[in-house]
Structure formats: structure tokens, C-alpha cells
Amino acid sequence: MTNTLDYKTVSSENVTNWFKAAPVTAFPANGGACVLYRGKQIAVFNFTRRDEWYACQNLCPHKQQMILSRGMIGSEQDEPKVACPFHKRAFSLQSGKCLNADECAIATYPVKIEEGYVYIGFDEA
Amino acid sequence: MRHIVVIGNGMVGYKFCEKLRKLADPTQVAITVFGEECRPAYDRVHLSEYFSDQNADKLTLAPARWYEEQNIQLHTGELIAWIDRRNKTVETHRGKTLSYDQLVIATGSSAFVPPIPGTDKRGVFVYRTIEDLEAIIAYGKKMRSAAVLGGGLLGLEAAKAMVDMGLETHVVEFASRLMPRQLDEVGARTLQTRIEELGIQVHLNKNTQAISGNGKLDALRFADESNLPVDMLVISAGIRPRDELGRSARLDIGPRGGIVVNDAMQTSDPAIYAIGEVALHQDIIYGLVAPGYDMAEVAARHLVGDIEKNFSGDDMSTKLKLMGVDVASFGDAFGAKSEHNAIVFEDKAKGVYKRINISADGKRLLGGMLVGDAEAYNMLLQTMQNGMALPPNPEDLILGSRGGETSGAGLDSLPDEAQICSCEAVTKGMICEAVLTGEAQSVKEIKACTKAGTGCGGCMPMVSDLFDLAQAKMGKRVRKTLCEHFNYTRQELLDIIQVKEIKSYDTLLNEYGTGDGCEVCKPAVASILASLWNELVTQQDTIQDTNDRFLANIQRGGTYSVVPRIPGGEITPDKLIVIGQVAKKYDLYTKITGGQRIDLFGAHLHQLPDIWEELIAAGFESGHAYGKSLRTVKSCVGSAWCRYGLHDSVSFAIEVEDRYKGLRSPHKLKGAVSGCARECAEAQSKDFGIIATDKGWNLYVCGNGGIKPQHALLLAQDVDKETCIKYIDRFLMFYIKTAETLTRTAPWLNKLEGGIDYLRDVVVNDCLGIGEQLEQEMQRTLAVYRCEWKEVVNNPELRAKFTHFINSEATDPAVQFDEMRGQKVPAKW
Ligand SMILES: Cc1cc2nc3c(=O)[nH]c(=O)nc-3n(C[C@H](O)[C@H](O)[C@H](O)COP(=O)(O)OP(=O)(O)OC[C@H]3O[C@@H](n4cnc5c(N)ncnc54)[C@H](O)[C@@H]3O)c2cc1C
Ligand code: SF4
Ligand code: FES
């Protein structure tokens, strides 16, 4: 079983490898999709309303479910967040912190858009 | 740096770590914890829940990662065997030694096993840890009957677990009544009657002398020479503090066990503290978690030099649900400690007993007990603890005020020091202040900033009432607005959407909201849009809950279940065969639902369109099991076959189900039609239920199952089919337009001023003059119905959304299945 410890936040300074995930058009507006990268599952969100993109682990730490990409996104006091479809634990898309319970934080990843493609930043090859 | 070692990682030991870390960061104090059990501290109070799902994670108080984050060294599965006070070290059972500056003993207690010959036989258990429960479950699988030794609080809880395991269950008690420490004769008898209704056999006045059996037990033998043959036994005869470390280290120990502590929780060695069930404070061992948490707080503060707060003892007030029966006991429950007058209320028919003890001068409440109905508990406890003045007729306290006063009035008169949340020691003043200063804008924020309600949760109803009270004090109308993004109630939003003919969530948010929306307002608005315009939910899929977004019900593990519509529960053999073939082809778990249809579980996201393509080809339609919408209209077989049937209930059920299929509403809707008063379709438990009479049909509304079941009420009598449908149209539309989000019809009716009589005035007598309008609105909504799945199956663009990965064809490798009775089920979480 995958473990939430397998996912570690990557900050944009530490990116060594920008992974070309999929064309922008493949992602729903104001919603997410799941990207597979070397056995890891990354949830990527197209936050059209804010004109922003976010990526985080797909694994919800509450019940270890690979699901966050299917969660609803939104904001809490201007902090962008995603809510898990199972029990509505909500996580900040910026810091990864759980906003409404005592779950541990989720890992987040930098995203960039170039020539119509979505890239996710990793610090491992 | 100072090093504090904690022995025991149970409920209180954990709470201590949490409190100490809040007061001292890792640069000031290093914390090391040893726990004998193999997992981090878990919630023993809710241990019995382990029986239902065997999920240890759910009970965990904080995962190992929390200790890491808090910089606390946690060693699970490691026992402290020895304390060397002179050198200030502890030694583990593996022989490792570690020095400490201060030591906290939180070793709890163990189950007390009375010295009866035969307790070592196979089939004899205690009830304290997850491992105990695992052993009981494994052994109980092959057994037929079980006895619990001890009719106290824990014993009865264990007995409930035995019943749930399907065993013939006996409770054996030495005293002449159940729960002798909390209840008097009448209270205990009331409880006993309710428990016996569950099929548990209670044996009182039984002095167990031996446990017989060859290797494994087969019977209990009592002093009166009688026998009770059973296959297994759970001993629950009290607790013994685990003071062995204190004894070997020569700390002061009480005559009947327990490590003696002072008001600061220090033992006879000031560098060693003891807290929780192992600590003996003024000759009392507290076998409850709330006093333990208090002790943890006192010790943590004392250790950082705050000597203000002392442990002054707690009372043993408790409220719990035993086998679905509320039982509470508080303060001086027997009135044994002083002169008093008791007020007693007993309702034998309902199995309710209440007793309160009033001081001789009639001014104060001393204590009491409640069996069968403990709703008054919180208020009574507050009244007692704060020495509040009693109402002129103190019996109002247990009978409820008969003048129609609300409970809020009582709350208002509570002093600010009144402790509302005893787990976290939060007072009324702290809660009100958080609201009045604007720090907490919602009940949720009260929880976050004061921690009230984060322990056992028992105080949440009061916290929520206090929130409303404080809001009202600030002159705020208590108005249930949707969330931070919309300062409107659901009904106001519905009006806006209808009048302005708004069709999309984004438009609404731009014009009437703020921020970017959230998981509360998105599906709520989606539901309103669907109720009013009935456009396909797939057009705005990302504002839907996952079930509506993918038109299937998400299940553990992330797979989905598929429910084709089977109107009225009628299905041909050919269609049954197709369902069977599809289930087989896609390896789906199948189960008949409570609503007379067939649920196919375990489909991967990408399989859903293929599955539906086959179902639709065979003539099926979406069953909307995923939506807040009409589910099923259940039917009995009715006059077509049944010798009692008055009318054709199946045809009517099919007609009604086809009429309302796809109708979106604030919550799910269920209906039923029965062919006569025998009511085989259980129509009186549905949102709308129709029962044949010799003159026509009776229409019942607002019945709900679920957490708080409620019977439906009669709306119209002996009406013909057309009238019946007209009334349902009006009723459903009225509900859809006025209910709050996620409110089912029963709670909606409960809040509707005037209740069922008013509803009848609106629907039948048309007192608001909106009858026709409601019917037309229903017509318009129903007219645009389309099967959502047909739409997806035939639209490649929509179909493409059903994949787990956006950049790979692979199925989700995290999905795993086990096997159960020949079918697959998701792996446990
Ligand atoms: C089935 C059940 C239902 C209950 N229901 C309620 C209820 O409804 N309300 C209520 O208030 N209370 C209830 N209780 C009581 C409540 O669980 C206890 O009061 C609470 O757990 C006490 O906490 P503690 O930390 O003192 O002891 P524990 O939770 O027992 O923790 C002590 C821990 O220390 C470990 N330990 C012992 N010795 C050593 C050693 N030498 N080295 C290392 N570790 C050691 C033990 O293995 C244990 O894990 C219930 C208890 C049970 C068993
Ligand atoms: S409700 Fe009446 S008609 Fe329907 S099956 Fe039962 S007995 Fe027969
Ligand atoms: S699995 Fe995500 S909230 Fe429970």
C-alpha cells in the first residue's frame, strides 16, 4: 500500500525535473484530474476562477484513499483548498495543511504552464 | 535541556503529551513516551465500535506522524520494567535505560479478574484493549452463547457487543440490581426491562464460585448451586490500577491500590507524577476519562512552573447510551450524602425513569439519575455544578417546562464559569467570548479556537445552542446562511436563481457571492439549479459532489456502485439476466438494496460508461442512486396477486416512480405504495407513502428512516389517483422550495411552523393560493427529464472524463479487494 509518507512537498526552488503531464485542455475548468508520475499519483487542479494551477498528492491522509483529484475545490478566507469526497476533510492547496480536522498536511508540488502544456515540478529524476 | 519521560501511552498519557507540548516547545523540554501496546494511544471509550468494523485506525487519537511532528519520541510495544529513583533512570523490558528529569506515570488500569477457580480456561476473556476484542471476535465466531460477569457500565457494554456478534447473551451480577453504583432499584429495573427486550438474560444475586470445563469453559457455577452453561465468558468485574512500577519503586500506594498523588498530581517523590486511572487522589480512583484529562492538564502546567491550577477532584457524573438506552447519573445520585427530597418520574410503558435529589431547603439540586431519556442531563448537570436557583416547580427540570419555554432560557441564566466541555475544560464564558469578539463566526470555529467539543463530543448540542444565544445577544438574527461565500439562506438563493433565471453557478457566484466557492455551496447550488431547471448535471460537473459528478456512488477504496432504475421493484427475468451478465463480466459485487433494486459494486471509474452502455441497451435507465433526488418508489405486490389487496399498488408505484424520476431535491426522496392497510411496502416510513383504502388512497408524508427515524403523517384521506398525484406534486415542490440544504422531509416538517396542519392547509386547502403554481413548476421540471447516463454513453467528450489518470490508461493500482462469501469487497481502510 502507498503511504502518505511517500509524498514530500517540493518547493519551486528545488525543482530539478519538470514533468510534462498533459495538455491544458485535458483538465476540467475549476476541477481536478490525476496524473501518474513514476508510480506516484498527483492531483492537479485547474483553478480557472483564480487563473491558478495547483498540484498535491492524490492520497487523502484520513483513510489513505487515492481520491483528492476528484474533490471539489474552493476557498476559505481566500486560501485555495480542496475537499476530499469521502468525508470532506479540506486541505489548503498552498500549504497542504488540513483546514477542518487534525489530519496531517498533504504534500504539494509546483505547476507551470508552457505552450499549452501542464508541467509538475519534482526534485527527483 | 529538561527531559520528561511518560510511562504509558493511553488516553490520558496522550492528552498529557498534547497539553505539555502546547506549554513547552522542543527547545525547552524533550518528551519521551513509552507505551506497552503495539499502537499509539487510541480511544478506549469508543472501544466497542471496533466490533462493527474492526478498524483500529478509526480509534487512533493521533497517528505516529503526529508525535514526529511534535518532536515527541514515541516507543510503542515497549514496557517500562523498572524505575531507579536514585539515579533517575527508567529501564525497559529490553534492558535499555534512559535518564529522566521528571517522570509521569500514566499506566492506567487493567481489568480486575476475581479469584475464582477456572479463569485461566480457554474461552475466558477481559475487555480492555483492541487485542482483547480481537481475541473475543475470533473465538466468538464459532460459539453460540456468552456470559458477561459484571452488570456494571462496562459489563453491559460488553454484553451489547456479544449480542451484536449474534450470541445468546447472559449478564451475571453479584448485586441485586444492574449498575449498582449508578442506579437505584427502580432505575436499575427500568434499565433491565429495556435490556431484556433485546434478548439479553439478566441473572442477579449470583455469586460465581467456579468456572467449569475441561480445558475450555463450559459453564459457570454459582454459590446457590445453580449452573449456567455457556461457551464463552467476558469478565468485567471492575478495574485494578496498574501501580506495579510505583510499588517496586516504593512510592506511596493506597491500601486498595493506586499511586497516591497530591493536588498537583505529584507522587510521594516530587519528581514523579501519576495521572489517569493509576492515580489515587484523596482515596478515589477515577475510572473515567474526563477527570483523567483534568489531571493531565494539572500535571503539565505544574511541570512548566504554573502552580495555579490544582486537581480538586471531580464527580463521577456520566451519561452514556447502553444498548440504545440513555443512562445518566450525576452528583449525589442516591442522595446518600445529605438530607434531601427526591422527585421521581416513572413511565413504565415507555421505559423511562428519572430521579432528582433536591436539598432539604429546596434550593439546590444535589444529583440524580436518568434512564431511558437523558435529554435533560446537560442542563441538570450545569444546574447542579453551578448551584443555580431551581425553578418554582423543580419537577419541571425532569418533566420539561409545560409552558413552552425553550431550553435557551436556561442556558442564559448559567454563570460564565459553568463548564460546558468537561473534556477540554471550556466554560460558557470562553465560548460566548469567542463569539462576541468575532473570533468564532460559526460552531465549527468555536471548536477550533476553544477546543470545546473535540473530546467526547457530548457537549456539542449545548455549544451550538450557546452559539445561537451569543449571536442573538449581538442582535444578529440567527439565519442559516449557506457558507462564507453566500450571505443567503438556501431559500433566498432559490428565489434569486428563479427570479433572475440564473443557470450557472459561476454567474451566481459572480453576482451574489464572494470568494471562490466551496464544497458546501457548490453542491447546494447545483441541487437548486437542478430542481428548478432540471438541466443535465454533467454540464457543470465540477460543482457536483463526486457521486453526481460521476453519476455513481463512491465506495470505500474509490470504486463506484451502479444502480439501474427498477420502477416499483418490478423486473422481468430477461432484465435480471442482463444485470447478472453485466455483474459477471465486470466482476461486480451484487446486493439487493432496501429500495427493491439491485446494486452493483466495485466498478472502476473508467468502466462506468461501458457498464451503462450495456444496461441501457437492455432498456435500463439511471436510478439516480447517486443524487439528492428521487430514489425508489417501493411497492407491495398488491391486488394483482395478493389475496388482501384492495388496489393495484405495483402499477401505481411504477406510475409515480416514472413521474418523479430524476427530480432533484434538498435531500434524497423515497416513496412507497401499499395495496392495503397491512402495509407491506412500509409506506409510512417514506417521504411520501400511499396506502390503498376501500374508497381510494391515503397519502402520508414526511416519514424518514435514517439516523432519527420518524413515521409519516396522514396528509389526505381516501383520495383518487389524480388528486393523490396533484398533492404529491404540490408537496414535493413546496418542500424543494423551502427546505434548507440537506434537510430531509421529516426534520423540515418538524421545523415548519404549524406542522402537518399548516402543510395540509397549503397543499390540500391551498391557503396560500400557490397550488397551481407549484403544480406547473413541477410539470416544467419533469418535462425536461433525460436519462443522464444515456447522455454520457452517447457523448464521447463526456465519456472521456471517466478515467482515473489523465496521462495513462492504467487503472488505479491503489484499489484492492478482499473476498467475502464468494464475492469481492474493498480492502479494509
Ligand atoms: C470498554 C471501555 C469503555 C469505556 N467507556 C468509558 C466511557 O463511556 N466514559 C468514560 O469516561 N470512560 C470510559 N472508559 C474508561 C476510560 O477508557 C479510561 O478512563 C481511560 O482510558 C483511562 O486512561 P489512562 O491513560 O489512565 O489508561 P489507559 O487508557 O488504560 O492507558 C494506559 C496505557 O499504559 C500502558 N502501560 C501500562 N503499564 C505500562 C508500562 N509499565 N510501560 C509502558 N506502558 C504501560 C497500557 O498498556 C495502556 O496502553 C471505558 C473503558 C473501557 C475499557
Ligand atoms: S400491503 Fe396488503 S395488498 Fe400489499 S402485499 Fe401486504 S397484504 Fe397484500
Ligand atoms: S478519506 Fe479523505 S476525508 Fe476520509
B34 close to ligand 1 (CB < 6 Angstrom): yes
φ and ψ at residue B274, rounded to 5 degrees:
-135, 135
Helix (H) or strand (E) holding B691: strand B688-693
pLDDT at B475 over 70: no
φ and ψ at residue A89, rounded to 5 degrees:
-65, 135
Q: Do A86 and B554 touch (CB under 8 A)?
A: yes
Given a contact cutoff of 8 angstroms between Cβ atoms, the answer to whether B685 and B711 are in contact is yes
**Residue B383, Cβ neighbours under 10 Å: how many?**
24
Residue nearest to atom 11 of ligand 1 (CA): B288
B594 grid coordinates: 432496501
Q: What is the pLDDT of residue B409?
A: 43
- Distance of alpha carbon B5 from alpha carbon B30, whole angstroms: 8
Integer CA distances (angstroms), B178 to B2, B126, B174, B205, B287, in order: 49, 19, 9, 10, 18
β partners of residue B426: B421
Quote the percentage of chain B above a pLDDT of 90. 64
A103 grid coordinates: 489530519
Integer CA distances (angstroms), B101 to B274, B304, B516, in order: 15, 13, 52
Q: Do A35 and B554 touch (CB under 8 A)?
A: no
B164 grid coordinates: 451484536
Given a contact cutoff of 8 angstroms between Cβ atoms, the answer to whether B626 and B547 are in contact is yes
Q: Give the tens place of pLDDT for each residue, B678-712.
A: 999 999 999 999 999 999 999 999 999 877 788 99
Residues near A49 by beta carbon (within 8 Å), at least 6 away in sequence: A30, B506, B516, B517
Nearest to B546 among A30, A39, A85 (CB): A85
Q: What is the pLDDT of residue B441?
A: 82
Residue A9: pLDDT band (50, 70, 90) is: very high
- Of A95, A113, A107, the closest CA to residue A18 belongs to A113
Residue corresponding to grid cell 474526563: B290
Residues near B753 by beta carbon (within 8 Å), at least 6 away in sequence: none
pLDDT at B401 over 50: no
- Of B75, B80, B105, the closest CA to residue B93 belongs to B80
A40 close to ligand 3 (CB < 6 Angstrom): no
- Distance of alpha carbon B603 from alpha carbon B555, whole angstroms: 10
pLDDT (mean) for B595-601: 95
Nearest ligand (C-alpha, residue B677): 2
- Distance of alpha carbon B202 from alpha carbon B176, whole angstroms: 11
B315 close to ligand 1 (CB < 6 Angstrom): no
- Distance of alpha carbon B744 from alpha carbon B669, whole angstroms: 8
φ and ψ at residue B750, rounded to 5 degrees:
-60, -30
pLDDT at B405 over 60: no
First to last CA, chain A: 22
Given a contact cutoff of 8 angstroms between Cβ atoms, the answer to whether B88 and B271 are in contact is yes
β partners of residue B819: B824
Chain A nearest CA to B599, separation (Å)? 19
- Distance of alpha carbon A121 from alpha carbon A17, whole angstroms: 6
Q: Do B516 and A100 touch (CB under 8 A)?
A: no
- Distance of alpha carbon B603 from alpha carbon B551, whole angstroms: 12
Nearest ligand (C-alpha, residue B291): 1
- Of B239, B65, B212, the closest CA to residue B152 belongs to B239
- Distance of alpha carbon B408 from alpha carbon B398, whole angstroms: 16
> Is the alpha carbon torsion for B329, B332, B336, B340 positive or negative?
negative
Give the DSSP per-residue string, B574-630.
HHHHHHHHHHHHTT-EEEE-TTSSEEEEEE-GGGHHHHHHHHHHTT--B--TTSSBE
Residue nearest to atom 3 of ligand 3 (CA): A87
Q: What is the pLDDT of residue B467?
A: 86
Residue corresponding to grid cell 431519556: B373
φ and ψ at residue B7, rounded to 5 degrees:
-100, 115
Residues near B437 by beta carbon (within 8 Å), at least 6 away in sequence: none
- Of B328, B400, B321, B324, the closest CA to residue B370 belongs to B328
Q: Do B812 and A41 touch (CB under 8 A)?
A: yes
Choice between B123 and B458, residue whose per-residue pLDDT is larger: B123
Local structure of residue B472 (DSSP, 8 states) = H
Phi-psi region of A117 (alpha: psi -120 to 50; beta: other; left: phi over 0): beta
pLDDT (mean) for B95-106: 96
First to last CA, chain B: 40
pLDDT at A51 over 90: yes
B128 close to ligand 1 (CB < 6 Angstrom): yes
**Ligand 2 atom closest to Cα of B637?**
5
The answer to which of B443-447, B551-555, B662-666 has the lowest mean pLDDT is B443-447
Q: Do B545 and A72 touch (CB under 8 A)?
A: yes
Three-state secondary structure string covering B129-169: CHHHHHHHHHHHCCCCEEEEECCCHHHHHHHHHHHHCCCEE
B675 close to ligand 2 (CB < 6 Angstrom): yes
- Distance of alpha carbon B80 from alpha carbon B59, whole angstroms: 24
Q: Give the tens place of pLDDT for each residue, B288-338.
A: 888 999 999 999 999 999 988 899 887 778 887 777 788 999 988 888 777
Q: What is the pLDDT of residue B515?
A: 93
Rg over CA atoms, chain B = 31
Choice between A49 and B360, residue whose per-residue pLDDT is larger: A49
Residue corresponding to grid cell 419533469: B782
How many angstroms is it from B645 CA to the middle of ligand 2?
Answer: 5
Q: What is the pLDDT of residue B437?
A: 84
Residue B187: pLDDT band (50, 70, 90) is: very high
How many angstroms is it from B522 CA to the middle of ligand 3?
Answer: 19
B797 grid coordinates: 467528450
- Distance of alpha carbon B734 from alpha carbon B752, whole angstroms: 11
Q: What is the pLDDT of residue B402?
A: 45
What's the burial of A44, exposed, middle or buried (CB within 10 Å: 0-12/13-18/19+)?
buried
Q: What is the pLDDT of residue B602?
A: 95
Q: What is the pLDDT of residue A2?
A: 59
pLDDT (mean) for B383-401: 77
Helix (H) or strand (E) holding B2: strand B2-7
Alpha helices in B400-439 (DSSP H): 407-412, 428-436
- Distance of alpha carbon A100 from alpha carbon A97, whole angstroms: 9
Chain B nearest CA to A13, separation (Å)? 24
pTM (whole model) above 0.80: no
What are the strands, taking DSSP E only, across B308-351? Answer: 318-322, 325-331, 340-347
Q: What is the pLDDT of residue B784?
A: 87
- Distance of alpha carbon B522 from alpha carbon B506, whole angstroms: 10
Q: Give the tens place of pLDDT for each residue, B643-684.
A: 999 999 999 999 999 999 999 999 999 999 999 999 999 999
